[in-house]
Structure 1
Amino acid sequence: MPHKNIQIFDTTLRDGEQTPGVSFTPEMKIDIARQLDRLGVDVIEAGFPISSAGDKASVKDIASLGLDCTVCGLARVIKADIDACIDSDVKMVHTFVSTSDIQREHTIKKTREEVVEMAINAVEYIKGHGLECMFSAMDATRTDTDYLISIARAVEDAGADIINIPDTVGVSSPPTMRMLVSDVYRSVRIPIAVHCHNDFGLAVANSLAAVESGASQIQVTMNSLGERAGNADLSQTVMTLESVYGLETGIKTKYLVETARLIERYSGIQIPPTQPIIGANAFSHESGIHSHGVIKESKTFEPGIMTPEMVGHQRRLVLGKHTGKHAVKKILNDAGLEPSDKELNAILERVKDLGDKGKKVTDVDLYAITEAVMGEVAHTEKRIMLEELSVMTGNRVTSTATVRLTLDGKPYVGAMTGVGPVDAALKAVESLVDGNEMRLKEFRIDAITGGSDALAEVMVGVEDSKGRMVTARAAREDIVMASVEALVNAMNRLSAVPKK
């Protein structure tokens, strides 16, 4: 039977910083330590003090913060390493040595008996200084089980407070981990921790299997940072323990997303949208059936035992080719927009059109489309109707645009040149409505989706002879068309403004 309370040992500042390309500044480490303490982790492995003067200074700074959690330093079974931890004022020393034959023979070049002796000496030295001691048998999952048990018993007799079983190269499977932890658990009296790497994507599963067999502490990192493919992810591990297993971790889960984003910002490694618990898509729904369901009752297409509020997330209705009218209406209504059925259908059509072209439709896209559609539909009696637009560009600066439009029910055609296709098109429109004394005053364009075929949002401001100005927006993949639509929409709006 698993323990009811599972401790969370966070090694983001140590193993997490060993992620290729990641390096935290001392100030970042302080911020991370405080955030992890706020999150409620039991132990923070603040660093490897012997590795550098900077790391030692950071560990000491973190140890001096007066955090509620235990601050730990890492050390090999070497006196100098342990002394560096002691000098850093940590409460716990995590000492380790390779125990698998492959690592023992090719790295430290020691016999099994020498390794046991080194481990015992290190533990006794740590305990002699009145500190908590965790002992790790590095590469435990590739270590002979009988030998692993013998070294575990030896360090227990030497005074170790907890034994850690690392899956250092991530080769274990849940059944194997379950059996190994069970064997060690039955052989010692002190608590067992596990440290699982994610080389085959099994770090969280292996950690949970260890808990099933008696482990009472799990070593994790935020956002699954760590050597190679990383470590067991804190958020996934905690939420599975609490929501699926019904166990307690003491983690204030409402800070999970907040903490994950801090680590994302400081590490420079983006959280994948599909990352469980903390990813942007974790509580997002695009399908019309799913969206309709969660609008009525969130448990229809979400776990129920875990809500976005529990982890500091938000439920989102995502737009795309699978989107239904209920989702679009809900998003717009929440934003204070009340499109008519006609407008809503037009908005939905454009959203689906973008989705069919393989585009991600963001909330910003929707609002831009809505602004454009509601601006068009709002004026049922438009003075200006765009009928056709064609643009010719060459290998020189000058472009030529031809516009055909209807003004007050009469057809007009105009052509102008410009320094580019957008400039030429806007000038062509202005040339046809110049008699109404409206001119382009402001122009701004933003690419609001990625890629060379990005959705462009254009905002224009049009002013009349009395100084009245109206702004309008349009959003399309074609930048020239979006610019002309925005200009025409603004001119129609300005024409509708009562003249005083």
Structure 2
Amino acid sequence: MQESRKIEIMDTTLRDGEQTSGVSFAAQEKVSVVSLLLDELKVDRVEIASARVSEGEFKSVQKMAQWATTHGYIDKLEVLGFVDGTTSLEWIAKAGCKVVNLLSKGSLKHCTYQLRKSPEQHLEDVKKSINSACEMGLKVNLYLEDWSNGMRDSKDYVFKMMDGLKDEPVTRFMLPDTLGILNPDEAGRFCSEMIERYPGIHFDFHAHNDYDLAVANVYEALKAGVKGVHVTVNGLGERAGNAPLTSVIALIHDHLGFKTNIDESKLYNVSKVVESYSGVRIPNNKPLIGDNVFTQVAGIHADGDKKKNLYFNDLLPERFGRYREYALGKNSGRSNIVKNLEALGIELDEEATSKVTARIIELGDKKEVVSLDELPYIVSDVLKNGNDFKEIQMLNYSLTLTDGLRPTATVKIGIKGKVYQETAAGEGQYHAFSKAMFKIYRSLNKPVPELIDYEVVIPPGGKTNAYVQTVITWKFEGKVFKTRALDIDQTVAAIKATMKMLNMLESGNIPKMNYMELP
């Protein structure tokens, strides 16, 4: 039955993927990736290298082969080899591998202009390489390089090659869209022609993404009946890359209803490891593995999810070792806030939730997204200190930091409708600000509190644009209390906390929950 088909997955991250500009995996990284692909992710085969690249590559292949032999995976490692007599084959065998992916020419142009040989001559050379590989105990898979152009421009040549090789000891014939030229109609039609003409042969399809059609072409190739597909982790590969592993797996499982051996729950972890090793960042909107793809932004979506999971689809994040998030920002609605508070185990009443929602929308105008890690600080800032500055208002301030000079601050504040301005220098920007402020206060004979402690709390995650909470402890008339504020800049947060303190003093409203008697 069509539904019971199992598709073979061959990962070529370490061979084709390493042809990504600027990517080069260290030997130990390659062993690590092979281990993740075979041991954890359960891919069927891994193409790990090209023969004859370098001495360093040879040693890497040796290490991977040693690991695979020890763990019973040696028949799942494959190395690209060339029709060059026995040179590539000896290189592969000496490295300890057992499978060669032999690169033959799949288009007349490649045969004629690159090899400068007739189809008959090339066919004979390929047969000799196959026979030599078998004599050396190597299994053979065969690439028909540039097969897609061959099917477009020289179909008779493709069939001539296949007619001459179909009875050779070749395990798989691999059909590459080497230059990523195919559209889905062509991919499906060409694969169908191969399968109908050569029934019983195992065909793999190898897609490139030059027109951003790699996944769609894989879809049509599988519908046509190919038995295996080639992928890379994160879509790495030369030019626009190869068909990405994660998207292809979701396509196979959800849209075609076919089976694979892949453990979906390990996909995200493997993708992140390869991201680290390759240095190629995963785009935030990359399906399944991008940072934002399981994040709902609009409030109406969070509301729908809360009521009946109305904005869920089959790509549930838990399948891929991830979880759903609800963005906090200017597009957030009350449901977004509630979903995030639930995730943190925080319960607020209606009034408090409304205040927190209003603050997040306000902060979202300054920054695209507020993170879940920052939410507790926002809640604390809103509920403990409020946000209304009435009697004393900050009208303007300027902070100057110059190498070799003391920081200076100029502040302009309004107190009950009157404007005051002062400038001061200090040991730091906030120190300069506070000295300028207290100059104003002393000129008015107003009492000022003593700063007891200054604490900056940074959310986890290491984001340099995260909202930080500055908590300042004050002593005034024998009592100690705290004010706190939130901003991307810790000095600005400290200024906000100071303004809260001054308004509390002006109004005589020091909350009992915020102070304690000194001994």
* C-alpha distance 477-437 of structure 1, shift in aligned 2 (>3 A): closer
Alignment partner of 1:284 is 2:295:
yes
Which has the higher mean CA deviation after the structures are superposed, 424-433 or 263-272? 424-433
**394-403 or 466-475: which moved more?**
466-475
Measured in 2, the distance between the counterparts of 1:55 and 1:34 equals 18
Residue of structure 2 in register with 1:441 after alignment: 453
Structure 2 residue aligned with 1:94? 101
Alignment of 1:199-238 (within 5 A): 199-238=210-249
Q: For residues 477 and 71 of structure 1, do their structure 2 counterparts lie closer, same or farther at Cα, with a shift above 3 Å needed?
A: closer
- Cα distance in structure 2, aligned partners of 1:103 and 1:349: 64
* Count of equivalent residues: 491
> Given that residues 460 and 471 in structure 1 are in contact (C-alpha distance below 8 angstroms), is that contact kept between their aligned partners in structure 2?
yes
Question: 1:149, CA displacement in angstroms?
Answer: 2.3
Question: What amino acid is aligned across from residue 515 of structure 2 in structure 1?
Answer: V
Aligned pair in 2 of structure 1 residues 352, 105: CA closer, same or farther (>3 Å)?
Answer: farther
Residue in structure 1 matched with residue 272 of structure 2 by the alignment: 261
Give SS of 1:498's match. Answer: strand
AA paired with 2:63? D
Q: Could you tell me which residue of structure 2 aligns to residue 190 of structure 1? A: 201
Change (3 A) 1:3 1:326: closer
Q: What does residue 319 of structure 1 align with?
A: 328
After TM superposition, the structure 1 = structure 2 runs for residues 151-190 of structure 1, keeping only pairs within 5 Å, are 151-188=161-198, 189-190=200-201
1:89–1:471 distance in 2 versus 1, CA, 3 Å: farther
**Which residue in the other structure is 2:81 paired with?**
75
Where does structure 1 lack aligned partners over 5 or more consecutive residues?
none
Shift of 1:281: 1.9
Secondary structure, aligned partner of 1:260: helix
1:226-277 Cα offsets, whole Å, 9 max, x none, are: 0111000111101110122111111000001111111111111111111111
Residue of 224, 249, 270 corresponding to 2:260: 249
1:390-401 matches, cutoff 5 A:
390-392=396-398, 397-401=407-411
- Alignment-derived partner of residue 25 in structure 1: 26
Shift of 1:466: 11
Q: Which residue of structure 1 aligns with residue 506 of structure 2? A: none
* Aligned equivalents of 1:330, 1:438: Cα separation in 2: 40
Match of 2:282 in 1: 271
Question: How far 1:177 sits from its partner (Å)?
Answer: 1.0
Check the 8 A contact 1:123/1:135 in 2, yes or no. no
Question: 2:103, 2:476 → 1: CA distance?
Answer: 80
Query: Distance in 1 between the 2:104 and 2:175 partners?
Result: 11
Contact 1:133 1:162 in 2 (8 A): yes
Distance change >3 Å, CA 84–CA 425, structure 1 → 2: same
Alignment partner, residue 50 of structure 2: 48
Shift of the 447–333 alpha-carbon distance from structure 1 to 2, 3 Å rule, reads: closer
Q: Which residue of 2 aligns with 1:62?
A: 64
The residue aligned with 2:485 is 474
Identify if the C-alpha distance between structure 1 residues 346 and 429 changes in structure 2 by more than 3 Å, giving closer, same or farther: farther
Alignment partner for residue 103 of structure 1, among 94, 103, 110?
Answer: 110
Task: State the AA in 2 paired with 1:48.
Answer: S
Note closer, same or farther for the CA distance 1:100–1:440 as it changes in structure 2 (3 Å cut). Answer: farther
Counterpart of 1:402 in structure 2 is: 412
Contact 2:394/2:499 (8 A) holds in 1: no
> Structure 1 364/418 Cα, relative in aligned 2: closer, same or farther at 3 Å?
farther
In structure 2, distance between residues paired with 1:273 and 1:121: 48
Q: Are 2:148 and 2:177, in contact at CA under 8 Å, matched by a contact in 1?
A: yes
Task: Using structure 2 for the length normalisation, give the TM-score.
Answer: 0.85
- In the alignment, which residue of structure 2 is the partner of 1:310? 319
Q: How big is each residue's C-alpha offset from its partner over 1:380-403, in whole Å with a ceiling of 9 and x where there is no partner?
A: 9x9x96433421467975322234
Asked if structure 2 preserves the Cα contact closer than 8 Å seen for 1:426 and 1:483, the reply is no
Q: Which amino acid aligns with 1:399?
A: A
Q: Distance in 2 between matches of 1:297 and 1:60?
A: 54
Partner of 1:11 in structure 2? Answer: 12
Structure 1 residue 136 displacement after superposition: 0.3
RMSD: 3.4
Unaligned runs of 5+ residues in structure 2 are 503-509
**Deviation (angstroms), 1:162:** 0.4
> Alignment partner for residue 117 of structure 1, among 110, 119, 124?
124
Alignment of 1:342-357 (within 5 A): 342-356=351-365
* Superposition pairs of residues 356-371 of structure 1, within 5 angstroms: 356=365, 359-371=368-380
Distance change (3 Å), C-alpha of 1:52 and 1:490: farther
2:394 pairs, out of 388, 391, 404, with: 388
Question: How far did residue 92 of structure 1 move?
Answer: 1.3
Q: Normalising by the residue count of structure 1, what TM-score does the alignment of the two structures yield?
A: 0.88
> What SS class does the counterpart of residue 104 from structure 1 fall into?
helix
Give 1:369 deviation, angstroms: 2.6
Q: CA deviation at 1:40?
A: 0.4
Which residue identity does 1:442 align to in structure 2?
Y
Identity %: 26
Alpha-carbon displacement from aligned partner over 1:170-203 (angstroms, at most 9, x marks no partner): 0001111111111111233320001100000111
TM-superposed deviation, 1:76? 1.2
In the alignment, which residue of structure 1 is the partner of 2:435? 427
Q: Which amino acid aligns with 1:486?
A: A
Task: Report the alpha carbon displacement of residue 338 of structure 1 after superposing the two structures with TM.
Answer: 3.0
Greater CA deviation, 413-422 or 61-70? 413-422
For residues 126 and 321 of structure 1, the distance between their equivalents in structure 2, rounded to whole angstroms, comes to 64
Once the two structures are TM-superposed, the CA of residue 63 in structure 1 deviates from its matched residue by: 1.5
Give a deviation string over 1:290-309, Cα, whole Å, max 9, x none: 111123333x2122x33111
CA–CA distance in 2 between the matches of 1:227 and 1:486? 53
Find out whether 1:498 has 2:516 as its counterpart.
yes
Q: Measure the CA separation in 2 of the matches of 1:199 and 1:425.
A: 56
State yes or no: 1:374 paired with 2:383: yes
